[in-house]
Amino acid sequence: MTTAALPTARAAVDRGSGPRSQGPAWRRRVVVLTFLAPTIIGIGIFTLGPILASILLAFFRWDIITDPEFVGLTNFVDVVADPTVRISFINTLVFVVVAVTLQIAVSLALAVLISQRMPTWARTFFRSVFFFPLILSAASVSIVMRYLFNEEFGVVNWLLSLVGIGGVPWLTSPTASAVVIVLVYVWQQFGFTFLLFVGGLASIPTEVYEASSIDGATGWRQLRSITLPLLSPTMLVACVMAVISALQIFDQPYVLTRGGPGDATRTAVMVIYESAFRQLEFGRASAIGVVLMLLIMGVTALQFRLSRRFVFYQ
């Protein structure tokens, strides 16, 4: 698709004169290499190489100091057998389901509302507001939320006390702290899926709505029969990206609860971090990383497979 006339012509000449005329071909290769080298070498050293190394390392026990020792599948068995690792994966999966559902619901509702008739300044205002948390660091947000959710002097419990609900132990009860992690995460992330939906809604032609209202379709009916089917390709992308990002949650539980109380908010990535850099079990950390990677690939593939039934392309 990018066949520029001249290079093609030159390539034809080269082919005609045989491999011995190395001048232009050799020079072209150098040009391509210089353009690509920084990225290819960089990705090779810092991404592709490490992926392979991680897979290899997952079969060893290694603490950096002594020699690595081959342990076969032990590290992988740990993911199921070790209660902390197992709980962290269960936590992560539950978190993904709850947080992504909430994120999609909130951002879809807001995107539908914002695409209604309203003054341009109001639309710009709301769009900027919902986008805003995305530019903040999850660490800063979590620091702020730690104060807001403080059991004794936090604003959240003060607000709840106004409607007669007594001090909820937000960060010290297992269930409540898991709820806080979900809320804080969704608060920061919903703007991303919101933006995707706003874009998706804008691409639905208005004529479809006009035609349907002539036929007497009302708000809910239009939402169910027009908006959602026509939005389904965007929905797929939004879900896939939201799930990939939620599976990697770390910053919020690290700052808010350090995984506690007990293991209630420990996530898969937290266990990777702790195994490697607290307990110096690099092999185990790699194995958990590999399982996480397989999980992401598997869940993504599953979403695309399921989408065949629900996604509607115009």
Partner 1 sequence: MTTATVTPPARTTSTAPPRRRTRAVPSPSTVARTAFLVVAAALTLGPVIWTVSTSLRSPAESFTLPPQLIPTDPDLTPYIQVFSQINMGLLTLNSALVTGFIAVGQMLTAALAGYAFARLEFRGRSLWFSLVLATMMVPVQVTIVPVFMIIRGMGLSDTLLALILPAIPTAFGTFLMRQYFLGLPVELGEAASIDGAGPWRTFASIYAPLALPGLAIIGILAFNFHWNEFFRPLILTISEQNFTLPLGLVSLQGNMGTGSISVVLAGVVLSMIPALVVFLFGQRPLREGLTAGVSK
Residues within window 217-256 making contact with partner 1, judged by CB under 8 A: 218-219, 222-223, 234, 237, 241, 244, 247-248, 250-251, 254-255
Smallest gap from residue 302 Cβ to partner 1 (A): 14
Q: Which is nearer to partner 1, 76 or 126 (CB)?
A: 126
Nearest to 111 by CA among 200, 187, 243: 200
Residues 62-81 interacting with partner 1 (rule: CB under 8 A): none
Smallest gap from residue 38 Cβ to partner 1 (A): 4
Tokens for 142, please give them. 């979590």
Q: Binding mask 250-289 vs partner 1 (x if CB under 8 A, - otherwise)?
A: xx--xx-------------x--xx--xx----x--xx--x
Under rule CB under 8 A, residue 6 binds partner 1? yes
Residue located via tokens 């506690």:
260
State the number of binding residues for partner 1 (CB under 8 A): 107
Check residue 267 and report its DSSP letter. Answer: -
Residues 6+ apart with CB under 8 A from 254: 142, 270, 273
Rounded CA gap, 85 and 168, in Å? 28
Q: Which is nearer to partner 1, 28 or 61 (CB)?
A: 28
Smallest gap from residue 218 Cβ to partner 1 (A): 5
Rounded CA gap, 98 and 64, in Å? 38
**First CA to last CA distance, the chain:** 25
Under rule CB under 8 A, residue 180 binds partner 1? no
Binding partner 1 by CB under 8 A: which of 17, 22, 128, 279? 128
Under rule CB under 8 A, residue 137 binds partner 1? yes
Smallest gap from residue 158 Cβ to partner 1 (A): 5
E strands in 39-192? 60-61, 69-70
Q: Taking a C-beta distance cutoff of 8 angstroms, is the pair 181, 257 a contact?
A: yes
Check residue 135 and report its DSSP letter. Answer: G
Under rule CB under 8 A, residue 13 binds partner 1? no
Say which amino acid occupies 122.
A
3-state secondary structure 196-241: HHHHHHHCCCHHHHHHHHHCCCCHHHHHHHHHHHHHHHHHHHHHHH
Instruction: Count CA atoms within 13 Å of residue 286 on its CB side.
Output: 20
Q: Binding mask 293-312 vs partner 1 (x if CB under 8 A, - otherwise)?
A: x--xx--x------------
Residues 84-113 interacting with partner 1 (rule: CB under 8 A): 106, 109-110, 113
Q: Which is nearer to partner 1, 176 or 208 (CB)?
A: 208
Q: Taking a C-beta distance cutoff of 8 angstroms, is the pair 257, 273 a contact?
A: no
Residue located via tokens 């000449």:
13
Q: Which is nearer to partner 1, 232 or 300 (CB)?
A: 300
Smallest gap from residue 136 Cβ to partner 1 (A): 6
Instruction: Give the dihedral sign, CA 86/88/90/93.
Output: negative
Under rule CB under 8 A, residue 211 binds partner 1? no
Q: Which is nearer to partner 1, 296 or 311 (CB)?
A: 296
Query: Applying CB under 8 A, which part among 65-73, 132-140, 163-171, 304-312 lies near partner 1?
Result: 132-140
Rounded CA gap, 289 and 296, in Å? 11
Binding partner 1 by CB under 8 A: which of 23, 46, 66, 119? 46
